[in-house]
Amino acid sequence: MSNFSDKVVLITGAGSGLGRATAVAVAAQGAKLALVDVSEKGLADTQAAVAEIAPDAATITVISDVSDETQVAAYVAATVEAFGRIDGFFNNAGIEGKQNPTELYGSEEFERVLSINLSGVFFGLKHVLAIMKEQGSGHVVNTASVGGIRGVGNQSGYAAAKHGVVGLTHNSAIEYGIHGVTINAVAPGAIWTPMVENSMKQIDAENPEQAAEQFIQGNPTKRYGKPEEVAAVVAFLLSDAASYVNAQVIAIDGGQSQKY
C-alpha cells in the first residue's frame, strides 16, 4: 500500500520549487492534495505536473497570501471542507527578500520577509494544529533553511525569519507530541529553485551563472541539490514511517553547514 493512500496533504508555496516537487512526490504515493500559493499560474502548472505522474489524484487549489491570517484560516477551512481532514502539512511558503548588509537592510523589507516567512508559518501552525489535535494525528514539516541554523550574510530578514521557524518547530513539537502530532523542519541549502536562481542574480546581475558556479565550490558535493531530493525527505517526514521523528531540523545541503 502507498505511504499516502487516503491521506490528505496540504502544501503552501505549492506553485513552484520545493512545494511543487513535494506535491508530485506524495501524489505519486496516493495522496489527496490541497495546493496553496499566491500564483494562480504556478498552481495550475503544479496541478499539471501532478496529473502527469498521478492522473487520478484528487486536488484542490487555493490562492492565498500566507501573511494574512484570515486567508490562512480560509485555506485550512477549504482543505477540511474538501477532504474532511488534514494528515500532512508542508508549511513551506517563503521568499528570500533583497540582499543587503544589516545597516542597509530596509526596515520595510525586514517586516515583509518576516510577515511571509515567519508569521505565515505561525499562522499555518496555529490553524492546522487545531485540526490535527482534534483528529489525534498528523505530521507537519516546516521549511526552515541553513540560514536558520547559521549566519549567511546580507540576509537579515531571511535569517531572522528562518531562525524563528526553527524555534517554532521545536516549541510546537513539544506541545503537540502528546496529541499524536509530529512537527519537524527541513533546512535546505543550495537547492536549485527559482528562489536560488534569483539569489544568484542579486549577487551578480551581469553574470549570475558565474556567481552560481563560484557559490557552489564551497559545498562538499560541488553541486546544487535538486528540489526532488528535498521532496523525498519531506515526504518521509510527512508519512507514518516517521512517526517517532519529532522536533528535528534536518539539513539538506550536501554537508555544507557542517564545513568549517
Query: What's the whole-number mean pLDDT along residues 58-66?
Result: 98
Q: Give the pLDDT score at 1.
A: 41
Q: Which of 48-62, 136-150, 191-205 has the lowest mean pLDDT?
A: 191-205
List the domain range (segments joined by +) for residue 170.
Answer: 8-189+225-253
Number of domains in the chain: 1
| Range 152-159 contact pairs with CB under 8 angstroms and sequence separation of 24 or more | 153/101, 154/99, 154/100, 154/101, 155/96, 155/97, 155/99, 156/100, 156/102, 156/105, 156/110, 157/97, 157/105, 157/109, 157/110, 157/111, 157/112, 157/113, 157/114, 157/117, 158/96, 158/97, 158/113, 158/117
Tell whether 58 is covered by a domain.
yes
CATH code of the domain containing 248: 3.40.50.720
Which residue among 75, 158, 176, 224 is the active-site one?
A: 158
Q: What is the pLDDT of residues 152-206, one digit of tens each?
A: 899 999 999 999 999 999 999 999 999 999 999 999 998 887 776 777 777 766 6
Q: Give the pLDDT score at 218.
A: 85
Distant-in-sequence, close-in-space partners of 54: CB < 8 Å, separation ≥ 6: 24, 27, 28, 30
Tell whether 176 is covered by a domain.
yes
Contact between 154 and 211 (Cβ < 8 Å): no
Q: Give the pLDDT score at 204.
A: 65
More confident residue, 148 or 190: 148
Mean pLDDT value across the chain = 94
Q: What is the pLDDT of residues 22-34, one digit of tens each?
A: 999 999 999 999 9
Strands 249-252 and 181-188: parallel
Q: Which of 7-16, 125-134, 210-219 has the lowest mean pLDDT?
A: 210-219
Residue 209 binned pLDDT confidence (cut-offs 50, 70, 90):
confident
Lateral strand order in the sheet of 181-188: 59-63, 32-37, 8-12, 88-91, 138-143, 181-188, 249-252
Tell whether 209 is covered by a domain.
no
Contact between 180 and 246 (Cβ < 8 Å): no
Query: What's the whole-number mean pLDDT along residues 31-50?
Result: 98
Contact between 47 and 61 (Cβ < 8 Å): yes
Q: What percent of the chain has pLDDT over 90?
A: 84
> What residues form DSSP beta bridges with 34?
10, 60
Query: What's the whole-number mean pLDDT along residues 236-241?
Result: 98
Tell whether 247 is covered by a domain.
yes
Amino acid at 198: N
pLDDT at 212 over 80: no
* pTM attached to this predicted model: 0.94
Tell whether 124 is covered by a domain.
yes
Query: What's the whole-number mean pLDDT along residues 80-91?
Result: 98
Active site residue 176: no
